[in-house]
Amino acid sequence: MGSLYLALLRLGCSRFVWAIQGDRLSELFTTLGDMIRAIRACKTAAEERAVVRKECAAIRASVGENDQDYRHRNLAKLMFIHMLGYPTHFGQMECLKLIASPGFPEKRMGYLGLMLLLDERQEVLIDLNHTNQYIVGLALCALGNICSAEMARDLAPEVEQLLQFRDPNVRKKAALCSIRIVKKVPDLAEIFLNPAAALLKEKHHGVLLTGVQLCTDLCKVSAEALEYFRKKCTEGLVKLLKDVVNSPYAPEYDVSGITDPFLHIRLLRLLHVLGQGDADASDCMNDILAQVATKTESNKNAGNAILYECVATIMSIEDNGGLRVLAINILGRFLSNRDNNIRYVALNMLIKAITVDTQAVQRHRATILECVKDMDASIRKRALELVYLLVNESNVKPLTKELIDYLQVSEQEFKGDLTAKICSIVEKFSPEKIWYIDQMLKVLSEAGNYVKDEVWHALIVLISNASNLHGYAVRLLYKAVQTAGEQETLVRVAVWCIGEYGEMLVNNVGMLDVEEPMTVSS
């Protein structure tokens, strides 16, 4: 821009120069703040597009002239524009140039741009060997977020070395970077086994947090890793959890009186993975799980989050009767908690608990049914799923009655789900055909339009196969149609039935004990 000015000045077009320079000056010199203010002042989408277009043009010009000074600002603007949803690929080279600059602020900006604007399809040079530990940290962060499988393969040995770097912040980032590497290239898992196990002996919470996560993910991608950690590390992890649970007040990691709940939860998750399917490992962790389940304070969210994770772990490891009872009791308490979030996670957990101990969950049936009628849509959905899993031959009649009663008052958007579940329950568990017909007719009258085709086809098939119920069915349908004629599916079924068995209707043929006589004229 400077050279253009000089050239035009030499040509003597000073006024002209001032005009364009003034304009260019105002565009190029807008700060990020100016641009944001301009965008906020826009009243319509079209206005916003115009402002963004102008800014992009200015940035493009600045990029084209290889403008060092404004690179940082240009990138900041580009990130804002990208967040609003506009394309910004012309700025990608700027990221790379910033990363290659020597100064820390420029590098920082470049790496941020890298992570927001680019994705793993780009090839990027990373300075993992820089002397400045913050820059190494940046590089690890970028690699951890966007590296591709080839990059992972190339850089794995260096990242593995960094797991033993002197600065704990770099170690923690290297751990997370390793996670991405083993996910992209699972074969590399074995080189990380030993270093990962070593991380579990650290004191720095950040390193522990990421180290535990690395071990967990290694177990997921490789069966050898799972065996390795199970044998070598289970006891150490149990001790670690004990230390964290019993640790004194640590202001930096304290949340609501509990030291580092996030670490508690990560450790519980790893124990979950190690104990699942292995009796010895499960035995090892019984005491600490019992301690966490009984001693954790449950009046704050942090405590409840830990209890939730603890219950999940207990449910997945090998059976220890006492622990399971403890867990289901905690869930029972959660279910009656006034906080919606707690009830939601309790329902979630109970769905998993059913496969493990159906009896215990059945005891909470009444509370769960109440949740189906809750005002909160997320809770209703979960509760309905749970009820569906709880149905068996002995409780199908009362449960279905409750659900159909609720169908009458439920909201529109919930009716579809509810109807589908009721029909499914009725079909699976119906003890007698006459009950089946009764329930289906109630559902058809209430929410016939939500009933799927296969369902009412099946009903018709059932009716036609039950010759002793033909008369009953046709009379019931006739009565139903008179009160609920707007339910199209009901009408269809009724019309078919009357078509088949019309004379039975008119002549009261084949009446059952439960029916009363009806007069119908043809």
Partner 1 sequence: MGIRFILMVNKQGQTRLAQYYEYLTLEERRALEGEIVRKCLARNEQQCSFVEHRNYKIVYRRYASLFFLVGVDNEENELAILEFIHLVVETMDRHFGNVVSTFPSCELDIMFHLEKAHFMLEEMVMNGCIVETSKSNILTPIQLLDKAS
**Binding-site ranges for partner 1 (CB under 8 A):** 32-33, 36, 76, 79-80, 83-87, 104-105, 108-109, 112, 115-116, 119-120, 134, 137, 141, 144-145, 169, 172-173, 176-177, 179-180, 183, 205-206, 209-210, 213, 217, 252-253, 255, 260-263, 265, 269, 301-302, 304-305, 308-309, 312, 339-345, 348, 375-379, 381
- Give the distance from CA 503 to its chain's centroid: 58
CB 410, min distance to partner 1, A: 16
CB 179, min distance to partner 1, A: 7
Q: Which of 118/493 has CB closer to partner 1? A: 118
CB 369, min distance to partner 1, A: 18
Angle between helix axes 340-353 and 301-316 (nearest 10 degrees) is 0
Q: Count H helices, E strands: the chain?
A: 27, 2
| Single-letter amino acid code for the residue at 165 | F
SS3 assignment, position 258? strand
Q: List the one residue out of 114, 62, 52 whose CA is nearest residue 86.
A: 52
Q: Which of 21/341 has CB closer to partner 1? A: 341
For tokens 């008119």, what's the residue? 506
CB 273, min distance to partner 1, A: 11
DSSP 393: T
CB 344, min distance to partner 1, A: 5
Q: What is the DSSP string of 111-156?
A: HHHHHHH--TTS-----TT-SSHHHHHHHHHHHHHH--HHHHHHHH
Q: Which of 84/198 has CB closer to partner 1? A: 84
Angle between helix axes 488-507 and 433-447 (nearest 10 degrees) is 130
Distances (CA, A) of 93 to 64, 88, 110, 122, 355: 11, 11, 10, 11, 54
CB 485, min distance to partner 1, A: 34
Q: Which of 42/191 has CB closer to partner 1? A: 42
Q: Which of 285/349 has CB closer to partner 1? A: 349
Q: Which of 108/397 has CB closer to partner 1? A: 108
Could you tell me if 62 and 70 are in contact, meaning their C-beta atoms sit under 8 angstroms apart? yes
Measured CA to CA, the distance from residue 178 to residue 184 in angstroms comes to: 10
CB 118, min distance to partner 1, A: 10
